[in-house]
Structure 1
């Protein structure tokens, strides 16, 4: 359940009443203001907020709308309604778009903390790959910050924020590129002092295959669905890191110890990058995540179409590149 508090001038109260319809609310008259407290199920929040936003365009700009999540609500009317509608298909409850955008906001800009976290994840993965230790490789995935920029990219595409989409994409490319460069430098330094083995874990990530593109698209789609349902980012992020982090590290390792595998590792990395992006955008479209006003929806539709075409071209290009033989 969600609690919405609307505070407006007293003369604007009739406009709010028209929006509320049959939802449960109570009205409180203050000195020169009227306050509405509204209780709605989570799956009706978007509809109420959308109607309020449409009304606010023609009302006083000082009207305040607040949304809260109560710890618990005892509301017998809603319980009776649920029992009455047990034969109907229940709608899955999703977080409102504002909450999703807020959670992705930290990944729109590149900062030093993200770079440090990516470097630490890369060095842990590097050790695991050279030791052929899958446990250490999985541990590195828990540290990887690669999910955030993909999540921000998809959500901002859905709401039509073109500039932020580019910023999220830049953050992702810098993080992946930084992991590759860091792994290259670390491998070169290590090679000066100790012989570095070409382990099965490294070799397995020097071979690209069309199936990896399909897997990345499905994984990107599933990740967006999971995050929209409130599954913690740390859990969903492991799946993304599993697809992106080891191939990116191997792309840095290959030029130093086995240059013939560099192209295959790079293609595999790019397959996962663009496949995850394509799947995540497909996810927000399928879940109908987007802005509420008509103007914003029209702008978002234009951005989504352009991004979808670009991603489709890249995914198809990488799909056919993976069919070409690479030397091992």
Structure 2
């Protein structure tokens, strides 16, 4: 349902101010229970209004201390609301606070995170060596590499340096672990360049750039609309892990001529995904409550660096394909 339950715990002195602020919003259902010192105000409201309500509470109640607010999704309720009513129409996106929680809470450097990266790398390597697409897809779904990239995008639009540092740290460690393990596997099991799943990931084409950008847009939309089922499809589509494992296997096997192509594909996926996700979040008007200048500064850097990389990769890809096409025409 496109409804949220806000539980606002406030004091007796703030009660009237909170209720006065809530009256300014349509489609709200408000009820309250009183205690000796604390007042609990419960509000059911459309998801689209959560961010506006929280902004008003922060803006008008700073001198008395912000009340504590819990945001809870509503699975169902009785009596059932009229889903055709304007207040219950489909929401454009979640609130800023829910988006932050969805991306920040899973970003924990734990043994579970490292174990998932290790296992997904082993599974991907086995799938590549056996040329099994089913095994490779399983590794892509298992690998927790998408969340840090989304964390960088959210941190940029919110101007959150702490989230940015944590996302970069966890992403770098995860990528480094997967690459290092893949190099060891390449040393132990030298690969054959005849394997189709390996050779499919040693070059970058225009479609690969478009795939990374489309996956970045889809990942941002799935994050902001709480459609977590779509995240699985994005993981499979962008395929972050297999090119990384291919790069490690090639380096471990001493295939130096093919390794740069796999590296370029990894960089294309990461940069294209982050650039598209950041731009999509900006287009949805996700802004911080404060420090907007810092957020603008971060997004300018992310988009600027991303555009330079994407244009550079596109130029390189275009030059390579034009050289191949020219050689082909000369033979004819």
TM-score bucket (shorter structure) = 0.7 to 0.9
**TM-score normalised according to structure 1 size:** 0.85
Normalising by the residue count of structure 2, what TM-score does the alignment of the two structures yield?
0.84
After TM superposition, the structure 1 = structure 2 runs for residues 109-188 of structure 1, keeping only pairs within 5 Å, are 109-188=108-187
Deviations 1:149-182 (A, max 9, x none): 1121111222111232133123223322332221
Choose from 294, 300, 305 the match for 1:299. Answer: 294
Matched, 1:239 2:234: yes
Tell me the equivalent position of 2:54. 49
Distance 2:228 2:9 in 1: 33
How far does the alpha carbon of each residue in 1:104-159 deviate from its partner, in whole angstroms, 9 at most, with x for none? 22454534432322121112111111111111111111211111111211112221
Inter-CA distance 85–238: structure 2 relative to 1 (3 Å threshold): closer
Residue from 198, 211, 217 that aligns with 1:215: 211
2:30 pairs, out of 17, 25, 43, with 25
Q: Distance in 2 between matches of 1:150 and 1:36?
A: 37
Asked if 2 retains the 8 angstrom alpha-carbon contact of 1:153 and 1:165, the reply is: yes
Q: Secondary structure at the match of 1:221?
A: helix
Contact 1:149–1:168 (Cα < 8 Å) also in 2: yes
Q: 1:109 to 1:30 in 2, by over 3 A?
A: closer
Whether contact under 8 Å (1:267, 1:321) holds in the other structure is: no
- CA positional deviation for 1:70: 4.0
- For 2:159, what is the secondary structure of its paired residue? coil
Which of 16, 38, 44 is equivalent to 1:39? Answer: 44
Q: RMSD in angstroms over aligned alpha carbons?
A: 2.8
3-state DSSP of counterpart to 1:36: strand
1:317-328 matched pairs, under 5 angstroms: 317-325=312-320
Q: Please say which of residues 214-223 and 257-266 is displaced more in the overlay.
A: 257-266
Point out where structure 1 has 5 or more consecutive residues left out of the alignment.
Answer: none
Distance in 2 of aligned mates of 1:239 and 1:67: 27
State the 1:224 CA deviation: 1.2
Structure 2 residue aligned with 1:6: 8
Paired residues in the alignment total 316
For residues 113 and 41 of structure 1, the distance between their equivalents in structure 2, rounded to whole angstroms, comes to: 35
Per the alignment, residue 248 of structure 2 pairs with 252
Local SS of the residue matching 1:207: coil
Distance of 1:134 and 1:162 partners within structure 2: 38
Residue 16 (structure 1) aligned to one of 18, 22, 27:
18
Separation in structure 2 between the aligned mates of residue 289 and residue 120 of structure 1, nearest angstrom: 35
Unaligned runs of 5+ in 2: 325-332
CA pair 106-26 structure 1, distance change in 2 beyond 3 A: closer
SS in 2 for 1:278: helix
Q: Residues 106 and 10 (structure 1 numbering): CA distance in 2 closer, same or farther, change over 3 Å?
A: closer
Change (3 A) 1:6 1:139: closer
Alignment match, 2:197: 201
Q: Aligned-pair distance for 1:57?
A: 0.9
